Amino acid sequence: MCGITGFMHFEDRPVEENVLKRMMSTLVHRGPDAEGLYIDGSMGLGHRRLAIIDLATGEQPLVEDNNNFALVFNGEIYNYLELRDDLRKRGHQFKTESDTEVVLKAYREWGVDCLSRFNGMWAFALWDKRNGELFLARDRAGEKPLYYSVYNGTFVFGSEAKALLEYGIPPDANGEMTEIYLTLGYIPAPYSFYKHIQKLESGHYLVVRNGVVRDQAYWVLPQIPEREMRVDDYEVCEEFAHLLKDSVKLRMRSDVPFGAFLSGGLDSSSIVALMAETSSHSVETFTIGCDEKAFDERALARQVASSFKTNHHEFVVQQDAFDEALKHTLYHYDEPFGDSSAIPTMHVSEQAGKYVKMVLTGDGGDEVLSGYDSYASEKIADIYRIVPAGMHNAILATMQPLLRATTGARRYKLNRMANVISTSAMSFEDRQIHKLSCIRPDKANKLMLDSGDCLPVYEYIKDVMKDCLFTDNFYKLMYFQYRVTLPERMLTKVDRMSMAHSLETRIPFLDYRLIELMAAVSKKVKMPGLKRKTVLRRAMKGKLPLDLFRAPKKGFSVPLREWFKGEAFSEKLASMDLSGMGLSQRGIRQVIDDNRSGKYDCGNFIWMLFLLDRWHRESS
């Protein structure tokens, strides 16, 4: 696991070594163990290393064939041993024990098609001097990031935007992204909040040659015709259980100490259970919690840790961590990133990094298994669409007195129920906008004094979905999550906060074999009725404490809505000024008042505004 960066001048002028070294220095947190660079005329590659496999001979850049090939690689190829055996049979000789050399040899054997043979996570840049091509790629799911820019006759890239900014790419804000940010809470690839910087999409590669940059998809989520989806539930569960166990086993290949994040939920607990089956020693587990009971899963995590006799470590996030979280989030994401679960992820990564260099996590389970509540709401919406519109209005009318009479947690639940009903007749795109927004879209829109220059979020979602072949909204949601929310929110969060503390995370649920298996499985098997994660529950039956199967889903979050009600944040809230970003101060005050009164849960949205405010001040 590493940080990579570099640049290529299109005209014939030499790479400035001091510039390349400065770019590398911005990524030291991603690779504190070693550094290396490669320069060949107008081509330069830089690398910062976090040593996990082949500690002795895994240095980068990896150069061979008299400087005709050079590679900087960030990630892990979990099936590298099997691929190395195959490549040896084909006549290749190896000088190291690293998966990096397997990547380079695989490219020399199969060219771009090597990507389809890798099981892992990656972002890499490979210079093929013979063809005058720079080849860059990002893994299927998008676990590892890659930013790039074409500016003033130079192609520049890096694991994080800060490396490109250090090169000299102007930090001009991209105001067209404001509406998308206020809805999603982040800027999805290929866009960024910087005018001159793009992100490579998951499952894509770039070829840079003769001043031309070609962007190409090499993997897309399989779109099985809905009538052909698998309904053989027993066989699906057996195959899933086998693949998940093998995925965990592959991801435990390491030459350094490792452990697991344990939230107390079904997904991470399943990973720990399978690790305990495979490991010859006690698993190190790490849990983060908070004092507010509604947000805390430490008790369940303790049960799991006790069941599998792990070496368990738990920590608590306090309100006084807010300023530190704000600073870290802005620095490590380089642009506003409003998913507040980055706060506990940051803290658990920091603590785990004191004990191990790598952890397995339960991330991705909700995407692979279609396990989010939003999938259930799609099924409910299908039912409501059959009901006459007049009955929708009658149901909503009966809820109004309850909404007026309640505040706090009960009102938040009623608001969510009313949202499902009121949006059931909307188009898929409009319904996603309502579901993804942290506050009602009409309230977010009122914050923007002039949205004329913004890319409308509706048009963005419509563009994402233009190649989707599914007609059932359940599967449309699956497609959207793999294209957008998985790589651009969840995996971005995990990568930045773990690598901020030089900690590698590995995600067994995102083995491409599991993704492709479950993408072909009917919703009747994934979610019979409204029961979530049936396949995983069957696969883990008898292996986990019973309380785990009964516990409601809480998510990995902190009680921002409660924090922002307190006096401790009054001064911070009053100091926000986003008029320079074209947002209404009066509208922002209304959002704060709605949260303080308990009328709406606006905690995460206020966090988003905090980040936007600070980022705008610092980048102006």
Give pLDDT tens digits for 50-71: 877 767 667 899 999 999 999 9
What is the pLDDT, as a whole number, of residue 185? 96
Within the chain, all domains assigned CATH 3.60.20.10 are found at: 2-217
What is the arithmetic mean of pLDDT over 564-589?
85
| CA-based nearest residue to 260, from 147, 160, 409, 361 | 361
Within the chain, all domains assigned CATH 3.40.50.620 are found at: 226-370+476-550
Instruction: Please say if the pLDDT value at position 444 is more than 90.
Output: no
Looking at domain 2-217, its CATH superfamily turns out to be Aminohydrolase, N-terminal nucleophile (Ntn) domain (3.60.20.10)
335 band by pLDDT with thresholds 50, 70 and 90: very high
Distance CA 581, CA 608 (A): 13
Percent of the chain with pLDDT over 90: 67
Phi and psi (nearest 5°) for 57? -125, 20
Distance CA 161, CA 159 (A): 7
Q: What share of the chain is helix, strand, coil (3-state, %, to 5)?
A: 50, 15, 35
Better-predicted residue by pLDDT, 390 or 219: 219
Instruction: Please say if the pLDDT value at position 272 is more than 90.
Output: yes
Phi and psi (nearest 5°) for 438? -75, -20
Give pLDDT tens digits for 400-430: 666 566 766 666 566 666 667 767 778 899 9
What is the pLDDT, as a whole number, of residue 477? 97
Contact 425, 150 (CB under 8 A): no
What is the pLDDT, as a whole number, of residue 399? 62
What is the pLDDT, as a whole number, of residue 557? 65
Give pLDDT tens digits for 459-493: 999 999 999 999 999 999 999 999 999 999 999 99
Helices 266-278 and 298-307 pack at an angle, to 10 degrees, of: 20
What is the arithmetic mean of pLDDT over 439-445?
86
| CA-based nearest residue to 96, from 67, 136, 61 | 61
Instruction: Please say if the pLDDT value at position 176 is more than 90.
Output: yes
Better-predicted residue by pLDDT, 618 or 159: 159
Instruction: Please say if the pLDDT value at position 121 is more than 90.
Output: yes
Better-predicted residue by pLDDT, 501 or 52: 501
Quote the pTM value. 0.93
Looking at domain 226-370+476-550, its CATH superfamily turns out to be HUPs (3.40.50.620)
What is the pLDDT, as a whole number, of residue 617? 87
What is the arithmetic mean of pLDDT over 293-299?
73
163 band by pLDDT with thresholds 50, 70 and 90: very high
Give pLDDT tens digits for 225-262: 999 999 999 999 999 999 999 999 999 998 888 999 99
Q: Please list the active-site residues.
A: 2
Half-sphere exposure of 431 (CA within 13 A, CB side): 25
What is the pLDDT, as a whole number, of residue 298? 85
- How would DSSP label each residue in 119-159? -EEEEEEEEETTTTEEEEEE-SS--S--EEEEETTEEEEES
Peptide bond into 32 cis (omega under 30): no
What is the pLDDT, as a whole number, of residue 573? 84
Residue 64 CA to chain centroid, in angstroms? 34
What is the pLDDT, as a whole number, of residue 515? 98
What is the arithmetic mean of pLDDT over 343-367?
94
How many other β-carbons are positioned within 10 Å of the β-carbon of residue 353? 19
498 band by pLDDT with thresholds 50, 70 and 90: very high
Instruction: Please say if the pLDDT value at position 571 is more than 90.
Output: no
